[in-house]
Amino acid sequence: MLDSMKLPMTVFFMKRRYVVRDISEDDVIREFYLDDIDRLNVTCRASIEEPDARGSLIMQSDVIISPSFLTTLEFASRYDRLSIVYNPLYRKLALQKGVVFINDRVTLEKTLRDAYARKTAQITFPEVADRVSRAVEAA
């Protein structure tokens, strides 16, 4: 779904380091998801990250999406990151303040497009510096 949105993005998949009997999370990723993640790299940057990087990844992110509520989402929402629980199998629940629960793809796409529009509408410090520099050169 993310690759069909045609928005510039970097996607981080956060591992949780789980092991069930003799099957590790890495085994599951390799067997079921690695090809999809590799295909996603054609339209945007994607990588699988260790849980130790959680804090720095949140601070670099604009949107955090999880299939279930985690304290990571609560932390991210406190720092004004759009925090979404996306799971079509769950009914909508009232969660922690600042965390959005979405259970359909159309709403998720609209929410991500709206977040991208808000981000691109913001004026960044480099843009301000560039405008000032051009104004000084023109004067």
Looking at residue 79, the DSSP 8-state letter turns out to be: T
Question: How far is 61 from 64, CA to CA, in rounded Å?
Answer: 7
Query: Is the CB of residue 60 less than 8 Å from the CB of residue 76?
Result: no
Looking at residue 32, the DSSP 8-state letter turns out to be: I
Task: Name all domains of the chain by residue range, CATH numbers in brackets.
Answer: 2-138 (3.40.50)
Report if pTM > 0.75.
Answer: no
- The model's pLDDT over 3-34, given as tens digits with 9 standing for 90+, comes to 677 777 777 777 777 788 888 888 888 888 78
pLDDT category of residue 43 using cuts at 50, 70 and 90 = low
Average pLDDT of the chain is 80
Task: Compute the radius of gyration of the chain from its Cα atoms.
Answer: 18
pLDDT category of residue 92 using cuts at 50, 70 and 90 = low
